[in-house]
């Protein structure tokens, strides 16, 4: 029995010490859990407190984006509130190349919706996988863009933008210019007033999902400032009149180009400015640079006989001449001066200074020029703006060219008297006549309604009044513009000009510029216009016959539209009685000379 007693306690002792008790195991588990909890708390503290900014920046970098808030460009109105340039909402489609390529099987459907080739799109994206933003197509119509977005192709998104639209199309193209695909002005007034019209885009922070879609607007970073509207001095109705008449004349005469500028005499505001050929600003890519040129502002021409009123301003200012005397001998119609034949189309004999204007005598103008002080003549030409910019603010405006007076040789001075040897723009020519019309006060031309433009006195008001009277004779029977520039019930004062065009080695014998510049009503001028038709090939090439009728038709319409009262009710040139100083003389207008025999200003410098 002794061996049993000894063996049993030994087995019990071994079982008792075989492992830790339940209490100890509990302590261990609780300890481990406590340590884990402390670790989690420490990690949470590290993430949410110690390194919070770092991880927030990392998260923002993946999902938070700063987006530009597009703004609408300001609307351009004509002087009567009619829209000339408006911005319409469009949609641009952009892509994240990497995301789209991860779903390459969707590219054919995407390409079909975009109207593009699938392989071209795929290659385009593969070349730009290092980017997160590339445009696939700009300025789609909202409906077409939505059909693309409805495909739900990963990585494809839309961006709202604005596109410029010009309701008047080619009629106002040269004045307004156009914008590029990013809605910034490229030419014309769109460029000149780009900062005013464009506004300032805003910015906001947004959260995007993994598909690139905006799921939340976080905050506005910068408030958008929409573009400001601009009201022009242009009258769309008169602009259309000028465009239609000039276009018709160019087609009939088969001319190369033409320009017309109409100014408000009292303010210098540009009421119309038209050039042909022209272009459609809504489809600029199909146009040529020559079509986009605003010839009234950028092209220069020798003014020919339209310069003679400026010569007369110098002559009257000198005290040597009055409208009626002294008489100038133009007998024979030729003056051989320093080996050069200055000639007229007819032998006018003795002419008064007014007669030189009426008949547009080059011989008479050259004689007058040679009697004037060179500095006086030069200063007068410069005072009327020739050789200087008009300061209209229009981009690319030419200053023209006139040599300084001290370098004038006698022959140069003589031919400057009838409009050769200097270059002017159509706007400069119109502005010079507006200065005469407003009593010798020159206004800087402006395209802005109510614009604060400079005004300065150029010549004595009495001299300006006399010049208007002299210019009125050109539209009366026997004048170079009669009856082509007549306007029923209104007196017209103006001047024709026909100039040979310069060519290599001299002047072309059969290439002319036909011009007319004038003002209405002559008794109280309100409107001035200058018309130039370049190289008419069919019919007459004289300024009175080619450009005079354009002036008359356009200004007749403008006078009606602006409700300017007639100043010559007694003398009706169309369908009514005529009046002489002695009273009514009948209802038949004076007989106009045949085109072949019409007085002209043909001159070979």
Q: Residues 526, 423, 188, 242: what is their CA dihedral angle, to the nearest 10 degrees?
A: 40
Cα–Cα distance measured from residue 406 to residue 46, given in angstroms and rounded to the nearest whole number: 87
The helix (H) or strand (E) run that includes residue 559 is: helix 548-561
Supply the DSSP string of 350-379, one letter for each residue: EE-HHHHHHHT-HHHHHHHHHHS-HHHHHH
Within the chain, how many helices (H) and strands (E) appear?
22, 23
Helical spans, DSSP H, in 276-373: 289-292, 295-298, 308-318, 353-359, 362-371
Q: Is 188 left (phi over 0), alpha (psi -120 to 50) or beta?
A: left
Cα–Cα distance measured from residue 316 to residue 472, given in angstroms and rounded to the nearest whole number: 17
List of long-range contacts for 405-410, beta carbons under 8 Å, 24+ apart: 405/374, 405/375, 405/377, 405/378, 405/379, 406/374, 408/374, 408/378, 410/337, 410/338, 410/370
* CB distance 162 to 183 below 8 Å: yes
Cβ–Cβ contacts within 10 Å for residue 341, how many? Answer: 11
The alpha carbon of residue 585 and the mean position of all alpha carbons in its chain are separated, in whole angstroms, by 49
Q: Is 460 left (phi over 0), alpha (psi -120 to 50) or beta?
A: beta
Q: How buried is residue 144: exposed, middle or buried, by Cβ count under 10 Å (0-12/13-18/19+)?
A: middle
Choose the catalytic residue: 72, 305, 361, 540.
305
Closest CA to 73 of 167, 173, 182: 182
Catalytic, 305? Answer yes
Beta bridge partner(s), residue 512: 500
- Helix, strand, or coil (residue 241): helix
Q: Which residues contact 594 (CB under 8 A, 6 or more apart)?
A: none
Closest CA to 242 of 284, 196, 296: 296
Cβ–Cβ contacts within 10 Å for residue 593, how many? Answer: 17
Residues acting as catalytic residues: 305
């Amino acid at each position: 029995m002794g061996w049993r007693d000894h063996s049993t306690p030994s087995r019990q002792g071994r079982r008792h010490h075989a492992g830790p008790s339940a209490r100890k195991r509990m302590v261990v588990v609780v300890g481990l859990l406590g340590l884990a909890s402390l670790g989690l708390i420490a990690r949470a503290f590290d993430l949410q407190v110690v390194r919070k900014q770092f991880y927030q920046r990392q998260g923002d970098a993946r999902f938070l984006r700063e987006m530009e808030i597009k703004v609408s460009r300001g609307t351009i109105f004509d002087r009567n509130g009619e829209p000339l340039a408006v911005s319409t909402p469009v949609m641009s489609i952009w892509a994240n190349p990497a995301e789209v390529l991860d779903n390459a099987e969707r590219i054919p459907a995407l390409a079909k919706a975009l109207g593009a080739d699938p392989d071209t799109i795929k290659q385009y994206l593969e070349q730009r996988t290092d980017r997160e933003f590339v445009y696939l197509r700009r300025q789609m119509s909202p409906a077409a863009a939505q059909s693309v977005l409805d495909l739900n192709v990963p990585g494809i998104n839309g961006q709202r933008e604005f596109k410029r639209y010009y309701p008047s199309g080619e009629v106002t193209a040269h004045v307004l210019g156009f914008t590029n695909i990013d809605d910034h002005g490229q030419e014309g007034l769109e460029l000149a007033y780009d900062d005013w019209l464009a506004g300032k885009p805003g910015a906001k922070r947004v959260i995007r999902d993994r598909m690139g879609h905006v799921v939340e607007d976080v905050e506005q970073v910068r408030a958008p400032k929409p573009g400001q509207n601009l009201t022009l001095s242009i009258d769309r109705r008169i602009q259309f009149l000028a465009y239609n008449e000039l276009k018709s004349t160019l087609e009939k005469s088969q001319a190369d180009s033409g320009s017309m500028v109409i100014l408000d005499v009292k303010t210098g505001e540009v009421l119309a400015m038209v050039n042909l050929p022209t272009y459609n600003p809504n489809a600029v890519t199909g146009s040529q640079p020559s079509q986009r040129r605003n010839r009234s502002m950028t092209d220069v021409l020798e003014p020919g006989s339209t310069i003679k009123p400026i010569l007369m301003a110098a002559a009257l200012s000198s005290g040597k001449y009055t409208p009626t005397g002294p008489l100038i001998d133009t007998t024979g119609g030729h003056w051989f001066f320093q080996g050069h034949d200055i000639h007229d189309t007819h032998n006018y004999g003795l002419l008064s200074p007014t007669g030189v204007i009426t008949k547009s005598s080059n011989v008479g103008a050259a004689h007058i020029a040679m009697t004037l002080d060179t500095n006086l003549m030069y200063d007068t030409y410069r005072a009327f703006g020739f050789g200087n910019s008009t300061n209209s603010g229009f981009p690319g405006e030419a200053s023209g060219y006139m040599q300084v007076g001290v370098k004038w040789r006698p022959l140069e001075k003589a031919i400057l008297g009838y409009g050769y040897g200097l270059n002017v723009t159509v706007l400069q020519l119109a502005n010079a006549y507006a200065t005469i019309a407003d009593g010798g006060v020159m206004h800087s031309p402006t395209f802005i309604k109510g614009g604060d433009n400079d005004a300065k006195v150029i010549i004595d008001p009495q001299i300006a009044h006399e010049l208007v009277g002299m210019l009125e004779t050109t539209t009366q029977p026997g004048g170079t513009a009669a009856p082509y520039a007549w306007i029923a019930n209104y007196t017209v004062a103006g001047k024709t000009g026909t100039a040979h065009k310069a060519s290599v080695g001299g002047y072309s014998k059969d290439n002319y510029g036909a011009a007319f510049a004038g003002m209405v009503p002559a008794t109280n001028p309100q409107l001035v216009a200058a018309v130039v038709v370049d190289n008419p090939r069919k019919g007459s090439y004289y300024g009175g016959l080619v450009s005079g009728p354009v002036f008359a038709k356009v200004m007749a319409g403008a006078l009606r539209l602006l409700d300017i009262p007639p100043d010559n009710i007694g003398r009706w040139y169309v369908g009514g009685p005529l009046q002489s100083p002695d009273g009514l003389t009948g209802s038949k207008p004076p007989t106009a000379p045949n085109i072949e025999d019409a007085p002209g200003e043909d001159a070979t410098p």
